[in-house]
Structure formats: structure tokens, C-alpha cells
Chain A
Amino acid sequence: MTQTLQGGPRRFSLRRRGAPYLFIAPFIVIFALFSVYPLTFALRLSFTDWRGTGSASWVGWDNYTYLLTNPAFWSSLANSGVLWLLIIPAQVVIGLLAAVLLNNAKLKLRGFYRTAFIVPFVTPLVAIAQIWIVAFDQNYGPVNDLLNLVGLPDIGWLTTSEWAKPTVALLFLWKTTGFAIIILLSGLQSIDGTVYEAAALDGATRIRQLWSITVPLIRRTLMFLVVLQTLAVFQMFTEPFVVTKGGPYNSTTTAGLYLYTHITRADLGTGAANSFLLVIVVMLLSLVFVRLLRAKD
């Protein structure tokens, strides 16, 4: 690519016409080898029974019907759905409040707060997940110690199926809410401040301003955030993989983690079928949110 051809104007223009293809070629090679090929392979695989060795046998739609009639598949989706409910509304509310406050130039220490809020986003998830295990330990963890200090009883954060989901949700919220704040803040910064002055003259309260002016104006940013986080929640893998291993009683076996169980059981055809079903679910959900937020136009 670095060779410098010397030549007349014709060669020059030939070189200029060829250059962009050469510059893009490496990406296309990587895309073909590591996206297109595996995707077509996975599509074929999803219609076969294959255990990783020997020959694959064609089973038609069996993998798909197996999954769609399997309670474990539905409960993995339900677990992700519950996690979504625990995470997204809380993140939008906290994120919006923090972003609105950070957007006020008169707030003291804004730079410090902004830095502090992004720290979790920068930290490695695996390290934090390990810290979560220690911090939320029922008998020896600091979280239950804090609860005891204010007179509350111990909670079996990781040992009971009712509390395991909130514990995983808290980890996700902790890790990504700073990101949400930064995204929402960038949306707020594009709003023209004079709209609020008009609203204040009309006597609108701050809460009312937030709901009827701010939210509609940053609708696109909100939509972007919700779609992005929905994708992340339904593909969530590392958090339950490290913290709870999907337990107790599969209560934290998310859609992403359930997919992984097919790999560990070497049931690759079912795994491939599950990937495509999950993609369809995720795409449908994204479409729903895009529609919902567009409808307010």
C-alpha cells in the first residue's frame, strides 16, 4: 500500500480511483471472514443436530420448535424481562435527574460529579462483579453490615431467588448509569435555554418543565439510550456468569447466559437456533421502542 508509483496523469487517476478500495479492503476481509461466514454457517447450523464432533444431521425446524416449547427458554427471556423492568425505568429516572442537575452551570462541583459518575463505566466488569460477590455476601459482606447499622435484617442477596435478580440489576445499574447520564447530558446541552424562561413566566413548576419540555425535546436521545440498554440487558452475560452462575434456581439465567449453556453442553445446533431467536426478540423490542417514542411526535 505504501509503494509510490511514478507515472503520467493516467496512472495517477487510476491510482486515485483504486485507493479507496485498497483502504477499505482490510475491513471487508475481516467482515467477510468473521461476520458473513460465521453468520451463514450459524444459519445452516441452526437446522442441524450437531454436538461439535462427527457429522451434523439435518433436523429442519426441530431446534426452533424445541426451544419455543421449552420452559427454560421462556424463563430465560422472562428473567431478562424482569431485569429490564428493574433496570431501565430506574436508570432513565436517575439518569435524567442527574443530567438535568449537571446541566445547570450554577451547580458547584459539576466537574467532580461528572468524573465520579463515569468511574464505574471505566472499571472492568469482571473485577466489579467479583467485588459484588464479596460486598453482597450474606454473612460477611459490608452491605448487610450497613443494613444492620440502620436496624434492618440481613438479606440473602445472592442466596435467595427473590433477591438475586435485584442484586444483578444493581450491578448493571451501577456500571452503566454514568454512561446514561453522559448521553442524556449531551442531549440536554443541545436544548435552547430560552424555552425554560418562557415556561417559568407561565408559572410552570420544575417537575412540570422537566416532563413537558425537557423530555419531549430530548426524545431522540432517550430513545437511543433505551434501545441501546435494552439490547445490553437482553444480551447480559458477564454479570450473572460471574456473580451468580445463573442461580439460585436459575433465577438469574438471563437470555444471554442461557445461550451459553448450549455451548457448555456442546449442543451447537440448538445454540445457533437460540441466537437467532434472541436476535429476533431484541430487534422486535428495539422496533417497539422506536415506534413508541416516535409516536409522540
Chain B
Amino acid sequence: MTATYESRGSRIRSVLGSQAFMVVLTLLFLSPVVWAVVSSFKPAIDIIRDPLGLDPTTFNLDNFAAMFGDVPLGTGFLNTAIVLVLKGSMILFLAPLAGYAFAKYEFPLKNVLFGTVLVTLTLPIVVLIIPLLLEMKEFNWINTFQALVLPDSFNLAFAIFWMRQVISSVPDELLDAARVDGAGEFGIFWRIVLPVIRPGLAGLAVLTVMNIYNDFVWPVVVTTSDSMQTLQVMLSTLAQNIAGNTIGTDYATITGELLAASSIALIPLLVIFIVLQKHFINGILAGSVKG
């Protein structure tokens, strides 16, 4: 794109053209989020009567108050937070640990074991849903946190694959020096490897948080009781719940509450994303393994 021999006029035209394309794309990408968040502050009736209208003097928190009165969204947040902490720490501990073994040790069956990681990555998720659900029933794990946390070979395998690449760039001399100093195998991992790969870990952490927070297909299958639903599951049945709880609820009220709940669900990740943008992009790119 660094064409050197161009007339000035055509260069200006191409700059304008590029900017126009980027601006249109930005508008398309941001407008649904901006519209939803802004509208959630409008009186419910105005959202449907004049969806594009904007009158900041009428802004209020009524939709949010009504929504929290109708739906136990706090419980959803709490459940998601618990799953985030449990599953997040599990993945962030086990993945670098296994990644370290694959990156820095030679041992019999290494290739076979690494093969299981690769197989897990190519297994479509749909094929596991039904048998996993039955297994959860067998274990009596329906509506439990262990069901929301443990059965996820895919995300763990992905994290191991990534951490193996990150850790293989750690110099062997560093590990050998620690070994000479008498550090145990786990001690080397804990005190040398983990601190050295902190940037990679941060990328993994951000991407893992996003995946767990947004996860829907598995939680919706494995939670049937309201008290165990994660935020996303609760959000998916919000409209039916509002309409079912209060007979005669009108479309405007439901819409207002729906937008309020969706906006609240959006905000935590958007904040994390804006603060930790660089780690996010690294995370996405690490996922795209260019062979």
C-alpha cells in the first residue's frame, strides 16, 4: 500500500476514501452498544415510541430499578463471579504448569500426551454437549458449581497450547541456574517460570475472563434452577421472566428492562477491555496459530 508514483489528487481521494470506510465501519460496530446503553436511561415508553430520539433531560434510572425488582440479576452476577474465580484460577494454574512440562522436559510419551491436547482443540463442542449433560446427571452435578467449572477440556487445552509456546522462549540457563541452587522442579515453575512469563499470563488471564464471563451454551444446559444461573443464562430468559412475573406487563417496560440488564452485562468487560487492550489483542493473536 505504499505506492510511490501517484498524483496528489488521487492520493487525497484515497485518504478520504479510507477514512470514510473506517468511519462507517466504526459507526456500525459501536452504534448498537451506544444505542442500547443510552436508551436504557430513557423512559421506557420513549424507547419504543421514538427509538432514535435523544432528550437527556428525561434520563433516569427507572429501567434499572424496575429490572432489579423483577429479576435477581445480582444472583447472576454473583454466580458468574464465583465461576470466574474458580475456573479462572484453575486454568491459570494448570495451563502454565502443563505448558511448562511440554516446553521444558523430555519424557517418554510426550508426543502422545501433547497429541491429546491437539485432539481436544479440534473436537467440535457440539459433539460433547449431550453426553456431558448425561454425565453430569449421573454425577448428580446438575445445578452445581463443579459442573460449571470442571468439564471444559477445550479452554484448558487451548491455554496449555498457548502457555507451551510462551514458556519455550524462557532461557534454559535460567532454569538450570535455579536447579544448581537446589530449587525443586515445582519451585522452579513457581518462582522462576511464572514470574518470567507474566505478560503472556496476563494475556491468557484477560482472554480466559472474557470466555468465562460470556460463556452461554454449557451454562444454559447445565443450570436449570434460577439460583444457579449465570448472568448470561439469566439474561437470555429475561423477557419471558418479566412477562411471566407480572401479568399485563407491556412491551415498553420489558424493552426498558431488557436494555438496562444488557447494558449492565456489557459494562464490566468493556471496562476491562479498554484498560487492558494490549493484552486482549495479544490474546486474540495467540489464538490464531499461524502454521
A residues apposed to B, CB below 8 Å:
1-2, 4-5, 15-17, 19-21, 23-24, 26-28, 30-31, 33-35, 37-39, 41-42, 45, 52, 94, 97-98, 100-101, 103-104, 106-109, 112-135, 137, 140-142, 145-146, 149, 174, 177-179, 182-183, 186-187, 190, 193, 196-197, 200-201, 206, 209, 220-221, 224-225, 231, 235, 237-238, 241-242, 256, 259-260, 262-263, 268, 271-272, 275-276, 278-279, 282
Quick one: closest B residue to A135, CB to CB? B32
Cβ-defined contact, B232 with A140, below 8 A: no
Residues in A neighbouring B288, C-beta threshold 8 A: 183, 186, 221, 224-225
C-alpha spacing A17/B105, complex, angstroms: 8
**Secondary structure call for the B interface:** helix
B163 → chain A closest CB, angstroms: 11
Using C-beta atoms within 8 Å of the partner chain, give the interface range for chain B.
Answer: 35 or more
**Contact sample, A vs B, 23 pairs, CB 8 Å cutoff:** A15-B184, A21-B101, A35-B153, A41-B131, A42-B127, A115-B277, A118-B273, A118-B284, A122-B269, A122-B280, A123-B214, A125-B232, A127-B261, A130-B238, A131-B36, A134-B36, A142-B52, A174-B28, A220-B291, A237-B217, A259-B130, A260-B129, A282-B124
Cβ-defined contact, A104 with B18, below 8 A: yes
Residues in A neighbouring B92, C-beta threshold 8 A: none
Cβ-defined contact, A140 with B51, below 8 A: yes
Cβ-defined contact, B52 with A146, below 8 A: yes
Cβ-defined contact, A103 with B1, below 8 A: yes
Q: Quick one: which of A20, A33, A263 contacts B133, CB cutoff 8 A?
A: A263
Cβ-defined contact, B189 with A23, below 8 A: yes
Contact with A along B9-38 (1 / 0, CB 8 A): 000001100110110011011101101100
Cβ-defined contact, B32 with A113, below 8 A: no
State which residues 37-77 of B face A: CB under 8 Å. Answer: 47-49, 51-52
Cβ-defined contact, A231 with B281, below 8 A: no
**Secondary structure call for the A interface:** helix
Q: Quick one: which of A125, A141, A209 contacts B214, CB cutoff 8 A?
A: A125
C-alpha spacing A132/B255, complex, angstroms: 11
B125 within 8 A of A: yes
Residues in B neighbouring A103, C-beta threshold 8 A: 1
Cβ-defined contact, A238 with B216, below 8 A: yes
Cβ-defined contact, A242 with B236, below 8 A: yes
Q: Quick one: which of B30, B101, B258 contacts A24, CB cutoff 8 A?
A: B101
Cβ-defined contact, B25 with A128, below 8 A: no
B residues apposed to A, CB below 8 Å:
1-5, 14-15, 18-19, 21-22, 25-26, 28-30, 32-33, 35-36, 47-49, 51-52, 94, 97-98, 100-102, 105, 107, 110, 113, 116-117, 120, 123-135, 150-153, 156-157, 160, 184-187, 189, 210, 213-214, 216-217, 221, 231-233, 235-236, 238-239, 251, 255, 258-259, 261-263, 265-266, 269-270, 273-274, 277, 280-281, 284-285, 288-291
User: 6 closest A-B pairs (Cβ-Cβ)?
Assistant: A38-B131, A142-B51, A140-B48, A20-B101, A19-B185, A23-B101
Cβ-defined contact, B1 with A113, below 8 A: no
C-alpha spacing A179/B152, complex, angstroms: 23
C-alpha spacing A119/B274, complex, angstroms: 9
Residues in B neighbouring A117, C-beta threshold 8 A: 25-26, 29
Residues in B neighbouring A31, C-beta threshold 8 A: 116, 120, 153, 157
Q: Quick one: which of A101, A125, A209 contacts B22, CB cutoff 8 A?
A: A101
Cβ-defined contact, B235 with A126, below 8 A: yes
Q: A276-B127, A278-B124 are in contact. List 19 more A-B contacts (CB 8 A).
A: A20-B101, A20-B105, A23-B98, A24-B101, A41-B134, A101-B18, A113-B26, A117-B25, A120-B29, A120-B33, A124-B216, A127-B262, A127-B263, A129-B236, A182-B281, A190-B290, A197-B2, A200-B4, A206-B14
Q: Known contacts A34-B152, A115-B277; decide if A4 and B217 are in contact (CB<8 Å).
A: no
Residues in B neighbouring A26, C-beta threshold 8 A: 94, 97-98
C-alpha spacing A183/B33, complex, angstroms: 23
Cβ-defined contact, B22 with A107, below 8 A: yes
Q: Known contacts A26-B97, A272-B131; decide if A206 and B153 are in contact (CB<8 Å).
A: no
Cβ-defined contact, B262 with A38, below 8 A: no
